Amino acid sequence: MKKKQVRIKETVGIDIGSHSIKIVHLRKQHEGFKLLNCDIRPTVASGIEYIPSDLRPERYAPVIIEMLKSLRINPKHIKHLVTSIGGDNTSIKQIKTIFLPDEELESALFFEAKKHIPISGTDMVLDYQVLSVEEKTNNMNILLAATSKDLLNEHTTTLTSAGLTPNIVDIDSLAVVNSFSLNAFAEEGVYVLLNLGAHRSNMVIWGPEAKLFARDIPYGGYNFTRDIMRKRQMEWDQAERHKMEFGLRDNPASATVESISMLDISEKSTEDAIVDEVRRSLRFYVKEAGNSDFRKLYLMGGSAKLAGLQEYFQEKVAIPTEIFMPFANVEVSDRLQSKKDPQLALAIGLAMRME
Ligand SMILES: Nc1ncnc2c1ncn2[C@@H]1O[C@H](COP(=O)(O)OP(=O)(O)OP(=O)(O)O)[C@@H](O)[C@H]1O
Ligand SMILES: [Mg+2]
């Protein structure tokens, strides 16, 4: 879904997460962007326990409408809207093929995609980008992005119900790459990006010259809250409050903490489950791409704010770890400084996507 070239001055990125919606409104400047406004709002009732599979997509539109209103954005006046989809029915893969002329490329890639991407052929919507053509071999490096028709339809319904006109629809993990590559001064080498959400997290391995790798890890903030409930015998809302205040750390005021956490050492914690998945993917990447020049691990998304997580990852994954703040090329006025948040990373990557 591409839009014809117009001179874009203002752009809106909307990240419709399963827990929170993030909206970023930017103005394009001579160099970089300026933050006009942004907002984050949950789509699940706070303090009330829920079952993720019970959450319905109908809950998104009313929240988006409220947010646009408070940001004073008229949905009918948005010139450049970028949104995204993710999850089980989306996939991106970088592949290599022999050189093919344009006319043949699309149908060849469709067959190729069926081999690499776990979405049934009849339901698959495919997009691709030629990244480079290798001089010596004439091989093409191609980025395939696929999703299902159903997911795309559901997304379109959400947007139109909120009074929006669907425009560019990206894939979550590519927006993560965009956010990073446009807001970091990455030298050569490879970077590991982890967008930690509520029910899943996007892991992307990216470098200016490196092969792109992306996958989802099925854990996020929801699982951290459940861990706290189990380990500390708390109800959902108490566990949520504990999570926001102490994260992985113990409450210094509580003396019984150690004996409580000792009760449940048998079950793997969410942070360990994520670390295991990350390490497994890194090993896979080293084998597949022949590159182990990992420079840094960047955490973003709402669960990147979990206290103690950055230190934990740094120790366990053994790569220098930082929380990613996506504002290197986004000017932020004094009034909005306090709204800078790693939870906005994906939405910023969307808003900064120009074509
Ligand atoms: N300060 C904080 N400390 C710990 N966790 C936090 C904090 N702030 C938000 N979170 C958690 O971050 C999660 C929401 O993050 P985010 O908005 O990135 O998820 P999402 O995009 O809605 O979900 P998903 O990507 O899984 O669909 C929630 O689980 C929330 O509890
Ligand atoms: Mg998310």
Does some domain include residue 111?
Answer: no
299 and 265 within one domain: yes
**pLDDT at residue 82 above 60?**
yes
Most distant pair of Cα atoms in the chain: their distance: 70
Q: Which pair of structure tokens corresponds to residue 92?
A: 């991106």
**pLDDT at residue 348 above 80?**
yes
Q: Of the ligands numbered here, which is closest to the C-alpha atom of 228?
A: 1
Predicted local distance difference test score (pLDDT) of residue 120: 81
Question: Position 67: which residue type?
Answer: M
Does the C-beta of 220 come closer than 6 Å to ligand 1? yes
Q: Whose CA is nearest to atom 24 of ligand 1?
A: 197
Q: Which pair of structure tokens corresponds to residue 186?
A: 């990455």
Does the C-beta of 308 come closer than 6 Å to ligand 1? no
Give the 3-state DSSP-derived string for the chain, with helices as H, strands as E and coil as C.
Answer: CCCCCCCCCEEEEEEECCCEEEEEEEEECCCCEEEEEEEEEECCCCCCCCCHHHCCHHHHHHHHHHHHHHCCCCHHHCCCEEEEECCCCEEEEEEEECCCCHHHHHHHHHHHHHHHCCCCHHHEEEEEEEEEECCCCCCEEEEEEEEEHHHHHHHHHHHHHCCCCCCEEEEHHHHHHHHHHCCCCCCCCEEEEEEECCCCEEEEEECCCCCCEEEEECCCHHHHHHHHHHHHCCCHHHHHHHHHHHCCCCCCCCCCHHHHHHCCCCCCCHHHHHHHHHHHHHHHHHHHHCCCCEEEEEEECHHHHCCCHHHHHHHHHCCCEEECCCCCCEECCHHHHHHCCHHHHHHHHHHCCCC
Does the C-beta of 232 come closer than 6 Å to ligand 1? no
Task: Give the Å distance between the CA of 33 and the centre of ligand 1.
Answer: 25
**pLDDT at residue 116 above 80?**
no
Q: Of the ligands numbered here, which is closest to the C-alpha atom of 59?
A: 1
197 and 158 within one domain: no
Predicted local distance difference test score (pLDDT) of residue 32: 95
270 and 214 within one domain: yes
Does some domain include residue 105?
Answer: no
**pLDDT at residue 258 above 60?**
no
**pLDDT class for 257, splitting at 50, 70, 90?**
low
CB 37 within 8 A of CB 71: yes
- Give pLDDT tens digits for 167-179: 999 999 999 999 9
Which of 136, 290, 273, 156 lies closest to 210 in space, CA to CA?
A: 290
Segment 303-310 shows an average pLDDT of 98
Predicted local distance difference test score (pLDDT) of residue 122: 82
Predicted local distance difference test score (pLDDT) of residue 113: 85
84 and 167 within one domain: yes
Residue with tokens 């997290």: 201
Segment 333-349 shows an average pLDDT of 98
Q: Whose CA is nearest to atom 14 of ligand 1?
A: 302
CB 43 within 8 A of CB 19: yes
CB 172 within 8 A of CB 195: yes
CA–CA distance, 233 with 116 (Å, rounded to integer)? 43
Predicted local distance difference test score (pLDDT) of residue 266: 65
Q: Find the domain containing 351 and state its range.
A: 1-89+148-184+325-355
283 and 179 within one domain: no
Predicted local distance difference test score (pLDDT) of residue 262: 55
Q: Of the ligands numbered here, which is closest to the C-alpha atom of 18?
A: 1
- What number does the ligand 1 atom closest to the CA of 307 have? 3
206 and 305 within one domain: yes
Residue with tokens 């986004």: 330
Average per-residue pLDDT for the chain: 93
CA–CA distance, 287 with 153 (Å, rounded to integer)? 37
Does the C-beta of 19 come closer than 6 Å to ligand 1? yes
Q: Which pair of structure tokens corresponds to residue 172?
A: 């979550």
**pLDDT at residue 255 above 70?**
no
Q: Whose CA is nearest to atom 21 of ligand 1?
A: 17
**pLDDT at residue 3 above 80?**
no
Q: Whose CA is nearest to atom 19 of ligand 1?
A: 197
Q: Whose CA is nearest to atom 20 of ligand 1?
A: 17
CA–CA distance, 110 with 104 (Å, rounded to integer)? 10
257 and 206 within one domain: yes
Mutate which of 151, 303, 346 for ligand 1? The one with the most ligand atoms within 8 Å of its CB, which is 303
Segment 205-231 shows an average pLDDT of 96
Predicted local distance difference test score (pLDDT) of residue 119: 82
Predicted local distance difference test score (pLDDT) of residue 112: 84
Q: Which pair of structure tokens corresponds to residue 69?
A: 């209103």
CB 141 within 8 A of CB 209: no
Residue 41 Cα distances to 15, 153, 188, 270, 294, angstroms = 11, 23, 36, 24, 34
29 and 14 within one domain: yes
Q: Of the ligands numbered here, which is closest to the C-alpha atom of 349?
A: 2
Segment 137-162 shows an average pLDDT of 96
Predicted local distance difference test score (pLDDT) of residue 5: 55
Backbone phi and psi for residue 25, each to the nearest 5 degrees, phi listed first:
-115, 120
221 and 78 within one domain: no
Q: Which pair of structure tokens corresponds to residue 2?
A: 């591409």
CB 261 within 8 A of CB 232: yes
Task: Give the Å distance between the CA of 79 and the centre of ligand 1.
Answer: 29
Predicted local distance difference test score (pLDDT) of residue 276: 98
Task: Give the Å distance between the CA of 309 and the centre of ligand 1.
Answer: 13
- Give the range among 2-16, 19-33, 45-59, 216-230 with minimum mean pLDDT: 2-16
Does the C-beta of 231 come closer than 6 Å to ligand 1? no
Q: Give the count of domains, the chain.
A: 2
R_g (Cα) of the chain, nearest Å: 21
The length of the chain is 355
Residue with tokens 């399963």: 18
**pLDDT class for 117, splitting at 50, 70, 90?**
confident
83 and 18 within one domain: yes
- What number does the ligand 1 atom closest to the CA of 301 have? 18
Does the C-beta of 61 come closer than 6 Å to ligand 1? no
Q: How much of the chain, in percent, has pLDDT values that exceed 70?
A: 95
CB 84 within 8 A of CB 346: yes
Does some domain include residue 114?
Answer: no
- What number does the ligand 1 atom closest to the CA of 243 have? 4
296 and 335 within one domain: no
Does the predicted model carry a pTM greater than 0.85? yes
Predicted local distance difference test score (pLDDT) of residue 317: 98
Q: Whose CA is nearest to atom 25 of ligand 1?
A: 197
